[in-house]
């Protein structure tokens, strides 16, 4: 059976986790957490990276830092993971969903401005499949209306828009290191902070409302309760697992990119015949091969293809059920404008297996079986 995902593992993880145990530092903000944050800061050029227990928690931190309150509104796509909305809903905000672009599955930047009201506080673009949103337009809208931008870059590490790393253009950027992402620590994430003025507050929110981060750096002689907050820092053992992969980030990305390009090449004939559609990568975007998807004619054809592939020992999966049609989405959100693409495109999209150790032979076998389905 070819699984849809196999969590990334390079071989060094056990050595580093053992080292974390031998360091006698398995709580948060130990040596491996520092290594991971510094690696991300250097790689992305962001002012500050704080490792978190998940991308969900990174987004919650961003919502706290953006001072999101009861009655505020945030603008985001409906085609996304629950956390993009939930982190803001938890603070009392209403999720205002706008339609996506069918080419990239990202928020349609041309529809954002019309959804802005006097209650709007933030725009939350999601870089689906590690392909950047139209950030110049989004940042321009935010600037003109005085809104914050929180990038859900859960899938976006190592990818860029006009040469700028995803997660570094908005006020805050959020990465995920869940086991389904390009690099993983089991559960984990990171908050990227562009403006240094937010760093101190972010450290306090992340450390149960205390200035323990300052204390650890020797900047204060005791730490105290300073503000509200929660516990958003991961164990150094998890960071040790992640660091093994960050060290090999280029190699992991290249392996994924090779498989991604093979899929595209092998499936192009089917796309040219109009049987399926392939992902679109706009010229401004450099992606990270996070995901390879195809689009079938409709949901019915997709279900038949999933069953067909399962019989050939291949696990393929669809993705988000649009948030605005989910029970909590109805309660805590509203769709602004017309749902022209969100539901329709979400029902056609199918993700094929893609992970670090997937082989070229397996990729070819999978592509052959997709072709066999359409040729039967």
Residues that bind ligand PLP (CB under 6 A): 54-56, 80-81, 83-84, 126, 152, 154-155, 176, 178, 189
Nearest distance, CB of residue 55 and ligand PLP, angstroms: 3
**Closer to ligand PLP by Cβ: residue 28 or 189:** 189
191 or 267, CB closer to ligand PLP? 191
Output the smallest distance, CB 324 to ligand PLP, in A. 16
Closest among 196, 158, 205 to 177, alpha carbons compared: 158
The whole-angstrom separation of Cα 337 and Cα 329 is 16
Question: Least distance to ligand PLP from the beta carbon of 70, Å?
Answer: 23
Query: How distant, in Å, are the alpha carbons of 82, 146, 163, 259, 366 from that of 292?
Result: 21, 36, 22, 9, 12
The residue (of 165 and 267) whose beta carbon lies closer to ligand PLP is 165
| Cβ atoms 363, 263 nearer than 8 A | yes
Cβ–Cβ contacts within 10 Å for residue 111, how many?
18
Which is closer to ligand PLP, CB of 7 or CB of 374? 7
**Beta-carbon contacts of residue 281 (< 8 Å; ≥ 6 apart):** 131, 287
For residue 91, the minimal CB distance to ligand PLP (Å) is 16
Give the residue from 279, 263, 273 showing the smallest Cα distance to 368. Answer: 263
Q: Are the CB atoms for 252 and 182 separated by under 8 Å? A: yes
The smaller minimum CB distance to ligand PLP, of residues 81 and 243, is found at: 81
Which lies closer to ligand PLP via its Cβ, residue 37 or residue 54?
A: 54
Identify the residue whose tokens are 């750096």. 217
Smallest gap from Cβ 345 to ligand PLP, in A, equals 16
Which region, left, alpha or beta, applies to residue 332 given φ > 0 means left and ψ of -120 to 50 means alpha? alpha
We find the least distance from the C-beta atom of residue 83 to ligand PLP, in angstroms, to be 4
Q: Which is nearer to ligand PLP, 46 or 54 (CB)?
A: 54
Q: Which two tokens stand for residue 122?
A: 């933030």
Residue 228, both tokens? 């509200």
Q: CB-hemisphere CA count at 13 Å for 339?
A: 17
Closest to ligand PLP by CB, 136 or 179: 179
Name the minimum Å distance from CB 363 to ligand PLP.
22
Please report where in the chains the tokens 């709007």 appear, as a residue: 120
Burial class (CB in 10 A: 0-12, 13-18, 19+), 64: buried
In whole angstroms, the minimum distance from the beta carbon of 318 to ligand PLP comes to: 14
Question: Facing residues of 99 across strands?
Answer: none
């Amino acid at each position: 059976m070819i699984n849809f995902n196999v969590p990334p593992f390079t071989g060094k993880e056990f050595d580093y986790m053992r080292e974390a145990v031998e360091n006698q530092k398995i709580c948060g903000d130990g040596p491996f957490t520092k290594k991971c944050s510094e690696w991300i800061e250097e790689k992305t050029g962001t002012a500050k990276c704080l490792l978190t227990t998940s991308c969900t928690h990174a987004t919650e931190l961003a919502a706290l830092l953006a001072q999101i309150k009861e009655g505020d509104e945030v603008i985001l796509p409906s085609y996304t993971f629950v956390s993009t909305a939930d982190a803001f809903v938890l603070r009392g905000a209403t999720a205002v969903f706008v339609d996506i672009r069918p080419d990239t599955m990202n928020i349609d930047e041309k529809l954002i401005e019309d959804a802005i009201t006097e209650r709007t506080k933030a725009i939350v673009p999601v870089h689906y499949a590690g392909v950047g949103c139209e950030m110049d337009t989004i940042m321009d809208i935010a600037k003109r209306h005085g809104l914050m931008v929180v990038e859900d870059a859960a899938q976006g590490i190592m990818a860029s828009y006009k040469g700028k790393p995803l997660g570094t253009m908005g006020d805050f950027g959020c990465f995920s290191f869940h086991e389904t992402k390009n690099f993983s620590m089991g559960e984990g994430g990171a908050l990227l902070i562009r403006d240094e003025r937010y760093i101190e507050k972010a450290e306090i929110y992340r450390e149960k409302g205390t200035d323990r981060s300052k204390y650890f750096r020797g900047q204060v002689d005791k730490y105290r309760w300073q503000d509200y907050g929660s516990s958003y820092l991961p164990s150094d053992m998890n960071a040790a697992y992640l660091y093994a992969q960050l060290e090999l980030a280029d190699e992991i990305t290249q392996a994924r990119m090779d498989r991604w390009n093979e899929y595209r090449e092998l499936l192009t004939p089917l796309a040219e015949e109009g049987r399926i559609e392939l992902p679109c990568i706009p010229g401004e975007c450099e992606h990270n091969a996070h995901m390879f998807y195809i689009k079938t004619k409709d949901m019915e054809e997709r279900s038949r293809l999933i069953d067909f592939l399962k019989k050939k020992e291949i696990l393929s999966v669809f993705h988000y059920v649009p948030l605005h049609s989910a029970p909590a989405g109805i309660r805590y959100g509203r769709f602004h404008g017309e749902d022209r693409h969100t539901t329709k495109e979400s029902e056609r999209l199918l993700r094929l297996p893609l992970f670090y150790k997937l082989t070229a032979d397996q990729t070819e076998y999978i592509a052959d079986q997709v072709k066999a389905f359409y040729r039967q």
